Amino acid sequence: MALSGIQIYKLLPHTNCKECGFPTCLAFAMKLAAKQVELSACPYVSEESKKQLAESAAPPVRLISLKANGTEVKAGNEVVMFRHEKTFYNKPGLFVRVKASDADISRKVAEADAYTVNYVGMDFTIDGFAVEADGDASTSSAQSLGAAVKTVRSISKRPLILIGDPATLPAGLEACSGEAPMIYAADNSNWEAMAELAAKYKAALVVKGESLEELAELTQKIQAKGVEDMVLDLGGKNMGEWLSRSTQVRRLALKANFRALGYPVIAFPGNVGDPARESVYAAQAIAKYAGFVVLDTFAPELAYALLVLRENIYTDPQKPIQVLPGIYEINNPTADSPALVTTNFSITYFSVANEVEGSGQPAWLIVTDAEGMSVLTAWAAGKFDAERIAKAVKEFDLASKISKKRIVLPGHVAVLSGELEEELPDWEIRVGPREAVDLPAFMKQAL
Amino acid sequence: MPIEIPKDKWPGSVRKVTVGATAAEGGTRAKTVTVGGQTTMPYLQYEALTPNTPVVAIEIKSRKPEDWSPLLVETWGDAMSDPAQWAKKAEEAGADLIVLALTLEDSADDAVNAVKSVLSATGLPLIVWGPGQAEKDNDLLVPVAEATKGEKIMLGICEDKNYRTIVATAMANGHLVQARTPMDVNLAKQLNILITDMGLPADRIVMDPTTGALGYGIEYGYSVMERLRLAALQGDAMTQLPMMVTPGFEAWKAKESKVGEGVPEAWGDWAARGIHWETLTAVALVESGADLIVLRHPESVKRVKEAIAELMVTA
Ligand code: B12
Ligand code: SF4
């Protein structure tokens, strides 16, 4: 949490020497609070004050970034408990876990890595892989983690989480050296060795504890060893306990500026051991503050649902997802192709565009500026009326593209046709079906 | 290191609302369902316990619907042509309540018969929806309300254009109402004010803030529910009502659930996707404060009830 001007003032020398260019230390403090000047403008701030000021400028939830070969996943930097208060920023990374000893590892990684799905014009993929050294800490499993990481690397460029212990992890870390992976996990028994590994390989470190107290103590001890990039595994025996802990951690970070837990959280829905429940755990993790979500089940239908949920929860509530207004060409339309009118809300645009495209029939799609609202919402809010539609038709110069002056309205706004005839006197106004699914048949029969 | 967990202390709480009446209470239900009563944001058991477990209703129709996803038709089979049988199967599938949706084709007699047959087929409390056209809603819901006096049925769906007659008949016959508004905190408050102004006690209203399916506007419903619950806890009386949502209806309208062919390969297995679509829509809404969740598929019912049960566990 940022300090107020008065709080900053308390940390300044109180000499009013004016060297910073301001008449008093208080005036300088106010400018600092407003982030309009740099602290370095005052030559007399004590080291101790500098440290405190730097800490207060740090985000309440530390930004953690995993990198590999030009790909990156970020978590943290969140500032609110509820998305309507501002927005959630960094979408939780979706990782798929594979076990080092799994003979099928290449196929599994290849399938998940190649996965891409389009949702309202955006291509979504999973973010990375968690590779686990299963078996005991013997040399053979240490080597197998290294081999497994090499296998994964031969297929995927996505960031990695390596799961193991201080004995097994080095081989894995060597196999992806130069990247910024994450390692799992430091606990009460091994934190020193894990911290050393994290420092040596510049890896982020997951810290695991069965209570928040235990976690906070561990993160402080690890931080004292010079490791800053940490992520919390909250444990939890059921959804309720996990929700409580995750909420407490977010609240402590945001409301109490509690540094020891000011880190993103990682969730392992797959630990529940049943794919049906795994999907539900993952949904909760996405909605309630996870920064990383590690799945054991990769299935396209589940990945799609979770990626869409994540997109929805992390959409900025101030800005609906929208497309640019304009004339869109579908299936190479010609002068004889019909012209359809819709709004620039992404979901609306794509439900229409996808139906028409799928039918193979060419059309011009006139996307009016309805401030990113659906047909009926925009109509009810006065953002999709005859005037706006007429303006779009003229502005985009539809007449120059088609031979027959005719436009088709969405069935839900049939009431607009009268007014639109007045606005566009030499145009034929047709009313289409209410739902986009019925458009192809309508186009075939009626246009 | 001792940590002081920040706890919110709220001045307000959600009202308790009970649907259904047993014989002792003037109805015929084997059990009743009570929702609401929370004094915290959803399931923060460390702050205060959640007094009543949120419940799941299964939506059935008075006639076999023509436009439901083939996946649902396959699941419910022949029971879909007989509301009594359908209700029984829904009870077996774990429903806490039944939603019986009437249709435009029903006459008043058809509607009353369908409701009575469902009441005798199961002991669960009942929610009855009109077909969704103001005039027809009134034509069907009034006789239904009169024929089931004292059962404490929930009548819906009350919106600003049709609430008067439904509320009047709910008052006259001891029923409750479902108050729906389009994803807006102020509109929700306003409808609750209009309804209570008519004289229906607030503990006979459940508000339905409307939701969209996953991928189709769920984020608006999700946030409106969080805002309504925050307002309730802050003490705003006209938002202190339990919330119900219809993810079954919304999710099974989405192409992802409804259609199996001609969709992108990346959408994966259709049957599994349909369940995910309904379940994940519902679970997100459970997290944002839903007290009564109306679903369509038995497998989603199972998953959502399990999730709620886990959220209700106290340490
Ligand atoms: C999500 C939503 C919102 C969101 C906005 C989302 C957005 N960015 O648009 C929010 C919460 C902000 C909102 C606000 C309001 N809403 Co609103 N909202 C909805 C809701 C739930 C879903 C709308 C949606 O996204 N549909 C999905 C899209 C894809 O549908 P669509 O654009 O219509 O497109 C379909 C068809 O029209 C067709 N189609 C589209 N283009 C074309 C083109 C052609 C040629 C053809 C043939 C077909 C076609 O294809 C699509 C798929 O079939 C609906 C209720 C519902 N369940 O439908 C109410 C609804 C649209 N809202 C309504 C209202 C009244 C409002 C408000 C005015 C309420 C208020 N007073 O605050 C405000 C207005 C906004 C403002 N003042 O800023 C009413 C409209 C009533 C009416 N008939 O006039 C509705 C119907 C709810 C209701 N039953 O009362 N809303
Ligand atoms: S330079 Fe530093 S000590 Fe001098 S007035 Fe500015 S803030 Fe105060």
Per the CB < 8 Å rule, is A212 touching B45? no
Spell out which residues of chain B touch residue A253, defining contact as CB-CB under 8 Å. none
Sort strands B16-19 and B33-36 into parallel, antiparallel or unpaired.
antiparallel
pLDDT surpasses 90 at A52: no
Spell out which residues of chain A touch residue B277, defining contact as CB-CB under 8 Å. 305
- Give the number of the ligand closest to the Cα of residue A441: 1
Residue A239 dihedral angles phi and psi, to the nearest 5° = -60, -40
Strands of B176-180's sheet in order across = B205-208, B176-180, B154-158, B126-129, B97-101, B55-61, B292-295, B244-245
Q: Which residues line ligand 2 (CB under 6 A)?
A: A 12-13, 15-20, 22, 25, 28, 42, 44
Residue type, B15: R
DSSP state of A73: E
Please name every residue paired with A407 in a beta bridge, in sequence order, or none if there are none.
A339, A429
184-203 in chain A: CB under 8 A from chain B: none
Instruction: State in Å: Cα A374 to ligand 1 middle.
Output: 5
If you write DSSP's letter for every residue of A343-365 in order, what string do you get?
Answer: ESBHHHHHHHHHHHHHHT--EEE
- Please give the residue of chain B at the shortest CA–CA distance from A248: B5
Instruction: State in Å: Cα A17 to ligand 2 middle.
Output: 5
Please name the member of A251, A283, A301 whose beta carbon is closest to the beta carbon of B283. Answer: A283
Q: Each residue of B170-197: pLDDT tens digit?
A: 999 999 999 999 999 999 999 999 999 9
Q: Each residue of A24-37: pLDDT tens digit?
A: 999 999 988 877 88
The domain covering A5-57 belongs, at the CATH homologous superfamily level, to: Electron transport complex subunit B, putative Fe-S cluster (1.10.15.40)
Q: Give the other-Cβ count within 10 Å of A221's Cβ.
A: 17
Per the CB < 8 Å rule, is A299 touching B272? yes
Domains and CATH numbers, chain B: 16-311 (3.20.20.20)
Q: Each residue of A360-404: pLDDT tens digit?
A: 999 999 999 999 999 999 999 999 999 999 999 999 999 999 999
The predicted model scores a pTM of 0.90
3-state SS record for A144-181: HHHHHHHHHHHHCCCCEEEECCCCCHHHHHHHCCCCEC
Per the CB < 8 Å rule, is B46 touching A83? no
Provide the token pair at B272: 């599994």
Q: Top-level CATH class of A326-446?
A: alpha beta
Sort strands A230-233 and A265-267 into parallel, antiparallel or unpaired.
parallel
- For all residues of chain B together, what is the average pLDDT? 97
Kindly list the distances between the CA atom of residue B137 and the CA atoms of B62, B114, B140, B155, in Å, as whole numbers in the listed order. 14, 15, 5, 10
Per the CB < 8 Å rule, is B284 touching A313? yes
| pLDDT in the model for residue A38 | 84
pLDDT surpasses 80 at B38: yes
Instruction: State in Å: Cα A308 to ligand 1 middle.
Output: 20
Give me the percent of chain A exceeding a pLDDT of 70. 97
Instruction: State in Å: Cα A53 to ligand 2 middle.
Output: 15
| pLDDT in the model for residue B2 | 84
Task: Measure the CA–CA gap between B34 and B284, rounded to whole angstroms.
Answer: 22
Instruction: State in Å: Cα B182 to ligand 1 middle.
Output: 9
Q: What is the mean pLDDT of residues B121-134?
A: 97
H helix intervals, A288-343: 300-313
Tell me whether B218 touches chain A (CB under 8 Å).
yes
Residue type, A373: M
Classified as helix, coil or strand, B62 is coil
**CA quadruple A182, A183, A184, A190: dihedral sign:** negative
Q: Is the CB of A389 under 6 A from ligand 1?
A: no
Distance of residue B53 Cα from the nearest chain A Cα, in angstroms: 13
224-253 in chain B: CB under 8 A from chain A: 226-227, 230
CA A129 to mean position of chain CA atoms: 17
Task: Measure the CA–CA gap between A158 and A68, rounded to whole angstroms.
Answer: 6
Q: What is the mean pLDDT of residues B137-166?
A: 96
- Give the number of the ligand closest to the Cα of residue A31: 2
Q: Which residue, A56, A61, A67, is CA-closest to A253?
A: A61
Q: Is the CB of B117 under 6 A from ligand 1?
A: no
pLDDT surpasses 90 at B35: yes
1-20 in chain B: CB under 8 A from chain A: 1-6
Classified as helix, coil or strand, A413 is helix
Strands (E), A93-225: 93-99, 117-119, 122-124, 128-132, 160-163, 182-186, 204-208
Q: Give the other-Cβ count within 10 Å of B246's Cβ.
A: 29
Spell out which residues of chain B touch residue A248, defining contact as CB-CB under 8 Å. 5-6, 46
Which residues, other chains included, contact A59 with Cβ-Cβ below 8 Å and sequence gap of 6+?
A: A76, A77, A79, A262
**CA quadruple B5, B11, B16, B17: dihedral sign:** negative
Confidence of residue A257 (pLDDT cuts 50, 70, 90): confident
Note whether A148 and A105 are within 8 A (CB).
yes
Q: Each residue of B190-240: pLDDT tens digit?
A: 999 999 999 999 999 999 999 999 999 999 999 999 999 999 999 999 999
Per the CB < 8 Å rule, is B306 touching A280? yes
Q: Which of B225, B311, B313 to mutate to test the interface with A (most CBs of A within 10 A)?
A: B311
Kindly list the distances between the CA atom of residue A219 and the CA atoms of A231, A246, A292, B212, in Å, as whole numbers in the listed order. 9, 16, 18, 40
Asked if the bond preceding B157 is cis, omega within 30° of 0, the reply is yes
Please name every residue paired with A117 in a beta bridge, in sequence order, or none if there are none.
A124
| pLDDT in the model for residue B7 | 94
On the 0-12 / 13-18 / 19+ scale of CB atoms within 10 A, A82 is middle
Angle of helix B218-234 versus helix A300-313 axis, rounded to 10: 50
Spell out which residues of chain A touch residue B273, defining contact as CB-CB under 8 Å. 301, 304-305
Provide the token pair at A184: 């799992």
pLDDT surpasses 90 at A278: yes
Q: Give the other-Cβ count within 10 Å of A130's Cβ.
A: 25
Q: Which numbered atom of ligand 2 lies nearest the CA of A23?
A: 5
Kindly list the distances between the CA atom of residue A20 and the CA atoms of A7, A33, A54, A153, B155, in Å, as whole numbers in the listed order. 18, 15, 18, 52, 70
Ligand 2 pocket, mutate which of A8, A12, A30, A45 (most atoms under 8 A from CB): A12
Nearest residue by C-alpha to atom 49 in ligand 1: A410
Token pair 């005036």: residue: A27
Nearest residue by C-alpha to atom 8 in ligand 1: A373
Q: Each residue of A157-205: pLDDT tens digit?
A: 999 999 999 999 999 999 999 999 999 999 999 999 999 999 999 999 9
On the 0-12 / 13-18 / 19+ scale of CB atoms within 10 A, A430 is middle
Instruction: State in Å: Cα B232 to ligand 2 middle.
Output: 48
Q: Give the other-Cβ count within 10 Å of B88's Cβ.
A: 18
Q: Is the CB of A431 under 6 A from ligand 1?
A: no
DSSP state of A414: G
Instruction: State in Å: Cα A392 to ligand 1 middle.
Output: 20
Token pair 């030499």: residue: A426
Q: Give the other-Cβ count within 10 Å of B279's Cβ.
A: 27
Task: Measure the CA–CA gap between A370 and A387, rounded to whole angstroms.
Answer: 12
Tell me whether B314 touches chain A (CB under 8 Å).
yes
- Give the number of the ligand closest to the Cα of residue A350: 1
Provide the token pair at A289: 């503050």
Instruction: State in Å: Cα A128 to ligand 1 middle.
Output: 36
Confidence of residue B262 (pLDDT cuts 50, 70, 90): confident
Provide the token pair at B168: 């009047």
Q: Which of A83, A84, A302 to mutate to test the interface with B (most CBs of B within 10 A)?
A: A84
Angle of helix B163-173 versus helix B185-197 axis, rounded to 10: 50
| pLDDT in the model for residue A140 | 60
pLDDT surpasses 80 at B138: yes
Kindly list the distances between the CA atom of residue A356 and the CA atoms of A199, A279, A439, B111, B165, in Å, as whole numbers in the listed order. 55, 33, 7, 40, 42
| pLDDT in the model for residue A139 | 54
Classified as helix, coil or strand, B261 is coil
- For all residues of chain A together, what is the average pLDDT? 93
Q: Is the CB of A344 under 6 A from ligand 1?
A: no
Confidence of residue A254 (pLDDT cuts 50, 70, 90): very high
DSSP state of A328: E
Q: What is the mean pLDDT of residues A59-67?
A: 94
Ligand 1 pocket, mutate which of B67, B162, B180, B183 (most atoms under 8 A from CB): B183
Instruction: State in Å: Cα B271 to ligand 1 middle.
Output: 28
Confidence of residue A409 (pLDDT cuts 50, 70, 90): very high
Please name every residue paired with A97 in a beta bridge, in sequence order, or none if there are none.
A130
Domain boundary assignment for chain A:
5-57, 64-314, 326-446
Note whether A263 and A231 are within 8 A (CB).
yes
Q: Which numbered atom of ligand 2 lies nearest the CA of A13?
A: 3
3-state SS record for B175-230: CEEEEECCCCHHHHHHHHHHHHHCCCCHHHEEEECCCCCCCCCHHHHHHHHHHHHH
Distance of residue B293 Cα from the nearest chain A Cα, in angstroms: 15
Q: What is the mean pLDDT of residues B87-93?
A: 98
- Give the number of the ligand closest to the Cα of residue A19: 2
ipTM of the complex: 0.94
Task: Measure the CA–CA gap between A265 and A251, rounded to whole angstroms.
Answer: 13
Tell me which fold the domain A64-314 belongs to: TIM Barrel (3.20.20)
Spell out which residues of chain B touch residue A283, defining contact as CB-CB under 8 Å. 279-280, 283-284, 287
Residue B102 dihedral angles phi and psi, to the nearest 5° = -80, 165
Looking at per-residue confidence, does A261 or A69 come out higher? Answer: A261
Which residues, other chains included, contact A312 with Cβ-Cβ below 8 Å and sequence gap of 6+?
A: B214, B215, B218, B219, B222
| pLDDT in the model for residue A135 | 65
Confidence of residue B142 (pLDDT cuts 50, 70, 90): very high
Q: Each residue of A125-159: pLDDT tens digit?
A: 999 999 999 865 555 666 689 999 999 999 999 99
- Give the number of the ligand closest to the Cα of residue A382: 1
Spell out which residues of chain A touch residue B266, defining contact as CB-CB under 8 Å. 115-118, 300, 304
Sort strands A71-75 and A64-68 into parallel, antiparallel or unpaired.
antiparallel
